[in-house]
Amino acid sequence: MAPNTRHRGSLQGLTATTHWALQKELEPYGATYISERFVQRGKIITAAGVSAGIDMALHLAREIAGQEMAEAIQLMMEYDPQPPFASGSPRSASPATISFVQQTIMQEQEQKQREQAKA
């Protein structure tokens, strides 16, 4: 999530979620980070990563078209997560893996900032 000045404060006073390593990115929007797969507050819904985005989409499909349709969509996608490693969240990942991810994300953010400064 990259802060967009147009949307600053748009989550003011709400709890929201995002990728765990980017939780500080919610501050410009006025949100308080909560460690959940997805969070819905009225019309606003946030997700915490790629597979959490799929969970969020299935939740919305159920809200819009009902449980049966949402389950059919899940089956059509063959969405049956069975990750090969127990490192899908900071609660289960090793400290070394967490550190590596944090460093990688920080380097990517720094690279984006350098590119934006050139533009």
Decide if pLDDT at 92 tops 70.
Answer: yes
Range of the domain at 78: 1-82
Shared domain for 95 and 115, answered yes or no, is: yes
How many independent structural domains does the chain possess?
Answer: 2
Shared domain for 61 and 78, answered yes or no, is: yes
Rg (the chain; Cα; Å) = 17
The pLDDT score that the predictor gives to residue 6 is: 63
For 7, 47, 50, the CA distances from 70, given in Å and listed in that order, are: 30, 18, 18
Interval 3-20: pLDDT, tens = 455 677 789 999 999 999
Shared domain for 2 and 60, answered yes or no, is: yes
Determine contact, residues 35/43, Cβ cutoff 8 Å.
no
Shared domain for 11 and 52, answered yes or no, is: yes
Shared domain for 58 and 101, answered yes or no, is: no
The pLDDT score that the predictor gives to residue 5 is: 56
CATH value at residue 51: 3.40.50.880
Q: Please state the pTM of the whole predicted model.
A: 0.81
Interval 18-71: pLDDT, tens = 999 999 999 999 999 999 999 999 999 999 999 999 999 999 999 999 999 999
